Amino acid sequence: MRKTDIDVENHFSIFLFSLNTKRANAWVDENCSEPMFFGRKLVVEPRYAENLIKGMIKDNLLVRY
C-alpha cells in the first residue's frame, strides 16, 4: 500500500494537513500563496479545506481525511 502524501485532521475551527512526502510539500509550495503552519502541519480554514483537498486529489496526491 502506498504511503499517504497528506493526512487531514478536522478540528472544526481549523483543519490541519500533515505533509508526509516531498511531493506534498512541493504541491503546497506551488499552490498555496501564503501557507501558515502549526509546527509541521499546514493550517487551513474550514471554508478552504474542501477545495484544497479536491485540488490535491486532482493532482494525484494520496489524501486521507
- The structural domains of the chain, with segments of one domain joined by +, span 6-64
Give the pLDDT of residue 1. Answer: 77
What does pTM read for this prediction? 0.95
For residue range 25-41, what is the model confidence (pLDDT) as tens digits? Answer: 999 999 999 999 999 99
Average pLDDT value for the chain? 97
The separation between CA 13 and the C-alpha centre of its own chain, rounded to angstroms, equals 16
Ranges under pLDDT 70 in the chain: none
Give the pLDDT of residue 2. Answer: 82
Distance CA 39, CA 58 (A): 26
Give the pLDDT of residue 33. Answer: 95
Distance CA 11, CA 15 (A): 6
